[in-house]
Amino acid sequence: MQFDRASGVLLHLTSLPSLYGIGDFGKEAYNFVDFLKRSNQKLWQILPLNPPDQGGSPYKCLSAFAGNTLLISIDKLIEDGLLRAEEVTNVPKFSETKVEFPRVIKFKNELFLKAFNRFNLLAESDEHAKFKEDNEYWLLDFCLYMALKEYFDNRVWNQWHLDIAFREKQAIEKYQSELADKIHYQEFLQYIFSKQWSELKNYANHNGIKIIGDLPIFVAHDSSDVWVHPELFDLDDKGNPRKVAGVPPDYFSKTGQLWGNPHYNWKCMQEDNFLWWRKRFEKIFKQVDIARIDHFRGFEAYWEVDASEKTAERGKWVKAPGYQLFSSIKQYLGELPIIVEDLGFITSEVNKLKVNFGFPGMKILQFSFDEKTPIKLGLDDYEKHCVVYTGTHDNDTLLAWYRGLRQSKNMRVLKILEKYYGINSGMSEKQVCWTLIEAVYRSKANFVITPLQDILGLGNEARMNYPGTVGGNNWLWRYKKGDITQEMEEKLATFVEKYNR
């Protein structure tokens, strides 16, 4: 699908300011839409909305369909009469710049339970009934899975009692009855998540802002999808992954990235014409306007590593049925507004798959000065049918990248920046960032996306993720209220007008 020239900002919802320790669907999200509108932006790109793992990674999700209920706004629950203001008076002092996941989870879950008890007193609305009907494919199974996770002390599903781990009919009926309240609670959270997100998205769309969502290629082994559909994954007879996902050694890691997600049993998926994938794409296109597909090359061939390996160095490429998959989805849903992450080890076969379906790929400014790249490669050489980023959630910030060039005395790249972009050592760091942001706006690419961290001119402390690592500061960064200034809005608006975005 071809897109008209436009620009936008990459910011995950968890990074929004909030009194409650994590960004949410509340007032600051609406304020961010207003900032985008005043800046003449047309796109807001977010990370996956799915429930993250314990480390906060939305790319190791507990469900390919469910939402991250930590994004539910406490203030909106008060507005809707599900909480009373006096019940939310003793708010802990959370960090303004980082998400403290354990504290946030404890605090919010206590309030969610109060809201649920009040919600239970109400008659079921038509809207609520429709939500359950529309999400019948996954909702009850996910809610049962979450109730069972709590019942079995958060253990992985194949460490539960064998009868329920492998979904014997009697066990399903037994636990659905015994855990009925817990199941209903989870269903309530998913309903509220969906309601609040729909309201925010409608507000964004009404103000001329389209949402670019993100679809992770894999799900976690400890997820409702693997528990409900084990036949769709490459598991042994005990429910453990036989082969796991990752990528070979690359720019980010000398030993590769071992993600640990189970691989798909593509042969089984083909038997029902990729029903699970068709339902998954149907779901995301109800949530967002455009979907970015994570690790697109994995749909042409994926890096397969034995589950016993400690790194991703020893693996092999295995072909995937990408043509059949996307043909099936296109036949089911029609034209697909998709952006693909075609970064890393990209072959001619991957490019052919992308071109065959007309999907625009991604270009990263920081990767435009690779040793293998002709020295005169400038931004004007990017093709129109692509999306250019100053960086993504996996990169360091623009400022940290530039500081790294100077500290390492990378004269080759510094000379290119000076010759073709007018950047020199006499410029302030702020000027450097804005010069590079303007450069991507000037490019031929139809879409230009800038992480908010680059607009704010922040350094390494604001990096969102270090690929191939777990913990640390990954997924924690938040900006503070007041960080976005009128000057920033005016600069972005000027670039949009100047370069016809």
Q: In this structure, what token pair is assigned to residue 449?
A: 């996306």
Phi and psi for 397 in degrees, rounded to 5?
Answer: -70, 165
DSSP secondary structure letter of residue 20? T
Cα–Cα distance between 86 and 67 in angstroms, integer?
28
Cα–Cα distance between 117 and 121 in angstroms, integer?
7
DSSP 186-223: HHHHHHHHHHHHHHHHHHHHHTT-EEEEEE-S---SSS
Cα–Cα distance between 306 and 62 in angstroms, integer?
22
Cα–Cα distance between 149 and 175 in angstroms, integer?
12
Q: Max CA-CA distance within the chain?
A: 73
Residue 225 CB burial class (10 angstroms; 0-12, 13-18, ≥19) = buried
Beta-bridged to residue 213, according to DSSP, are 291
Helix (H, G, I), strand (E, B) or coil at 79: helix
Cα–Cα distance between 357 and 319 in angstroms, integer?
18
CA distances from 179 to 125, 143, 146, 151, 292 (A): 23, 10, 10, 9, 36
Pair type for strands 210-215 and 257-262: unpaired
Q: In this structure, what token pair is assigned to residue 24?
A: 């949410």
Cα–Cα distance between 183 and 175 in angstroms, integer?
10
Cα–Cα distance between 37 and 451 in angstroms, integer?
16
471: left (phi over 0), alpha (psi -120 to 50) or beta: left
Cα–Cα distance between 354 and 347 in angstroms, integer?
11
Cα–Cα distance between 126 and 115 in angstroms, integer?
19
DSSP 359-427: --EEEEGGGTT-TTS-TT--GGGS-SSEEEES--TTSPPHHHHHHHHHHTT-HHHHHHHHHHH---TTS
Q: Could you list the active site residues? A: 294, 341, 394
Q: In this structure, what token pair is assigned to residue 383?
A: 């093709």
Residue 267 CB burial class (10 angstroms; 0-12, 13-18, ≥19) = exposed
Residue 260 CB burial class (10 angstroms; 0-12, 13-18, ≥19) = middle
